[in-house]
Amino acid sequence: MRLLDSSLALAALGAAAAVAYVPACSSSDSHASKRATAAVVAGPQDAHCTKTVTVNPAACKQGSTSDAGATEAGADAGGGNDVPYGPTMSNAEGDDDDCKYHLKWSATSGAAATTQSSKLYPRHGDEGGGSTAAGGDVTFTVTITNKNGGTPVTGAPVEIEAFLDDTHPAPNTTQTSKETSPGTYTVGPVRFDVSGKWTVRFHIHDECADSEESPHGHAAFFTQVTVN
Ligand SMILES: [Cu+2]
**Which tens digit of pLDDT belongs to each residue from 34-71?**
899 999 999 999 999 999 999 999 999 965 444 444 34
Q: How far apart are CA 203 and CA 60, in angstroms?
A: 14
Alpha carbon separation from 36 to 130, 166, 192 (Å, rounded):
17, 21, 6
- Say how many Å lie between the CA of residue 83 and the centre of ligand 1: 11
The CA 124 to ligand 1 mean position distance, Å, reads 5
pLDDT of residue 31: 53
What's the pLDDT score for residue 111? 57
Give the pLDDT confidence score for residue 124 in this predicted structure: 53
Q: How much distance in Å is there from the Cα of 218 to the middle of ligand 1? A: 6
pLDDT value for 34: 86
Centre of ligand 1 from the C-alpha of residue 104, in Å:
17
How far does residue 217's CA lie from ligand 1's centre (Å)?
Answer: 6
Q: How far apart are CA 45 and CA 93, in angstroms?
A: 8
Distance 125 CA to ligand 1 centre (A): 7
Nearest-CA neighbor of 141 among 40, 13, 10? 40
Distance, CA 59 to ligand 1 centroid (Å)? 15
DSSP state of 152: B
pTM for the predicted model, two decimal places: 0.74
Q: In 3-state terms, what secondary structure has residue 16?
A: helix
Contact 218, 201 (CB under 8 A): yes
CA distances from 30 to 51, 101, 153, 198 (A): 47, 38, 37, 22
Taking residues 220-225, report their average pLDDT.
98
